[in-house]
Amino acid sequence: MSTGGYKIRNKDAIHFITFAVVEWIDIFTRKDYRDIVIESVRFCQKEKGLIVYAWCIMSNHMHLIVSARDSNLSDILRYFKKYTGKQIIAEIENNKLESRKEWMLGQFREQGQKNSRNTNYQFWRQDNQSKELYSPGFIVQKLNYVHNNPAEAGIVERPEHYLYSSARDYYGGNRVGLLQVDFL
């Protein structure tokens, strides 16, 4: 079975994965679209066996450090991307206040036409970055990368101040983040 570009060979391993929006469109500047992603991750955790160790949603991409209980990580990620893409497109179509609606839908439609597996729109890029976390040092490197992303982008001063990241769980002491996290 194809992994849809995830290159997940060791299905029992923990993986660092980056999903980017086509044309790097800054979609996640809006809370409604971020909330769709959060709810979908929660569903995948509860119903599909996704284990989340770290995560971060940026304006046009997201990072995950994840594994799966039942060794079906590729299937979970494929489901996640398909579902969130459809839900976000529907939200854009129905959002009367979205000033970028026609432009964004045009971009998603154009990218969908370039992909023979799509019928209308493509939301996520095909070229996901997937890396197996094979050593303690590599785990720490990727964990720091995920958590420092918002601070390095100038969004927050400190990683734990960013709401849409597991840095709050790792650095926050008594704070609880938006998603359940299994600590590495």
Handedness of CA 120, 123, 127, 133 (dihedral sign): negative
Tokens at 8, concatenated: 């997940």
Supply the pLDDT for residue 1. 27
The answer to whether residue 58 sits within a structural domain is yes
The answer to whether residue 179 sits within a structural domain is no
Total domain count, the chain: 1
Supply the pLDDT for residue 173. 61
62: nearest Cα among 30, 37, 90, 98: 37
Supply the pLDDT for residue 171. 87
What is the tens place of the pLDDT at every residue in 95-136? 999 999 999 999 999 999 888 776 789 999 987 778 999 999
What is the tens place of the pLDDT at every residue in 15-72? 999 999 999 999 999 999 999 999 999 999 999 999 999 999 999 999 999 999 986 8
Supply the pLDDT for residue 114. 87
What is the tens place of the pLDDT at every residue in 145-161? 999 999 999 999 999 99
The answer to whether residue 30 sits within a structural domain is yes
31-43 and 73-94 are packed helices; what angle lies between their axes, rounded to 10 degrees?
Answer: 150
User: How are strands ordered across the β-sheet holding 61-68?
Assistant: 50-57, 61-68, 15-20, 129-132
Task: For residue 151, give Cα distances in angstroms to 14, 144, 159.
Answer: 24, 11, 6
pLDDT band of residue 7 (cuts 50, 70, 90) is low
The answer to whether residue 83 sits within a structural domain is yes
Supply the pLDDT for residue 6. 46
The answer to whether residue 6 sits within a structural domain is no
CATH number at 154 reads 3.30.70.1290
User: What's the domain range around 107?
Assistant: 15-171
The answer to whether residue 145 sits within a structural domain is yes
The arithmetic mean of pLDDT across residues 79-95, rounded, is 96
Q: Quick check: 4 pLDDT over 60? A: no
- More reliable by pLDDT, 7 or 171: 171
